[in-house]
Amino acid sequence: MARPIRVEYADAVYHVTARGNERKVIFNDDADRRGLIDAVAEATERFGIVVHAWCWMPNHYHLLIQTPRANLSAGIGWLQTAYTIRFNRRHNRSGHLFQGRFKAHVVEADAYGRELIKYIHLNPVRPTNKRKSIPPDRKRYLSSYRWSSHRVYAGLVQPKAVPTWLCTDWMSYFGRTRRAAVGSYRREIAAMFARPVSSPWDELRGGLVLGDERLWSKVTRLIEKSDADEELRWRKRARRQTVARRIRDLVARESDRRVQMWLLVRQGGQRMTDVARAYGYRDGSGVHQALRRLEGKAQKNAALARHLSALKTKCQV
């Protein structure tokens, strides 16, 4: 199994999740669920981790956290080890509880924190088939679900009863005052029933980053400092994905269909047969001829040559 990439820096925000080994349950009862809560509380004290949202599911967990001390691996590694030891001791078992290392996506809080909070909290009621709507009759179940921070954000828990380890600063994403935030959060959650819920993970970049170009560049620079095999493979994949994304953007803005095909084939490496189907040619030979005529024209037309050269530069990483 490939080793998950770890990117650590001060005040980084992550969505952290881990599944049970062989997808088996990680909680046998409510005492286990409280046990993981206790371990999280200890981890926040030991490592200074800030928890913004959480949700326990039968065979996995979700945490939305921040690491002021740039110690993701140490903190979550300790958390899982501590919980596993206590779980094994309580249930007279041995061996791994979690399936490999935990996953951690780097998140741009201001852009995605609000949506991630809702997405994480909806886990207990979301259908297995993510394309299906959340049944409206599941609203009551979500309101009564004790094993997430949903009830805190929804104002169903008295402020004095909110765990000291849970940071509620991100309620400000929903409103300037607590009352306004609770009302806005409730309305937004209610609006997500009876319809499919779009996933913020559709915008995940490189399987690692949920954020804008600045965060992507920062994460890429940090990973480039490592010469480990998995980091090297990730950089190659990330470059290919970046080039593909740039080409898609350039094609969308380009009005000349011949130039679009040139971008896809010459810069993106797509097969001519695939491009032929998309552009109405019988086979790849038609695309080949069109590209040869375009490049021949560019040898005589300085403006076209400059345009193709500029596009080529924009495709490079």
- What's the pLDDT at 196? 82
In this predicted model, what pLDDT tens digit does every residue of 132-172 receive, in sequence order? 899 999 999 999 999 999 999 999 999 899 999 999 999 99
| Domains recognised in the chain with CATH numbers | 12-218 (3.30.70.1290), 229-315 (no CATH)
- What's the pLDDT at 3? 66
In this predicted model, what pLDDT tens digit does every residue of 29-53 receive, in sequence order? 999 999 999 999 999 999 999 999 9
- What's the pLDDT at 240? 72
Query: In the predicted model, is pLDDT for residue 2 greater than 80?
Result: no
Q: What is the DSSP letter of 147?
A: S
- What's the pLDDT at 47? 96
Give 63's strand partners. 16, 54
Phi and psi at 148, nearest 5°, equal -160, 175
- The count of residues in the chain is 317
Query: In the predicted model, is pLDDT for residue 244 greater than 90?
Result: no
Q: Two tokens at 190?
A: 């209610």
- Residue 162 CA to residue 171 CA, distance in Å, equals 13
Output the average pLDDT for the chain: 91
Edge-first strand order for the sheet with 12-19 is 50-57, 60-67, 12-19, 103-107, 209-210
In this predicted model, what pLDDT tens digit does every residue of 260-307 receive, in sequence order? 999 998 888 888 888 889 899 888 888 899 999 999 999 999 999 999
In 106-160, where does DSSP find H-type helix? 109-121, 139-144, 150-153
Q: How many CB atoms lie within 10 A of CB 144?
A: 10
- Residue 82 CA to residue 74 CA, distance in Å, equals 12
**Residues 6+ positions from 37 with CB-CB distance below 8 Å:** 163
Which of 7, 195, 226, 35 is CA-nearest to residue 103?
7
Q: Two tokens at 70?
A: 């740039």
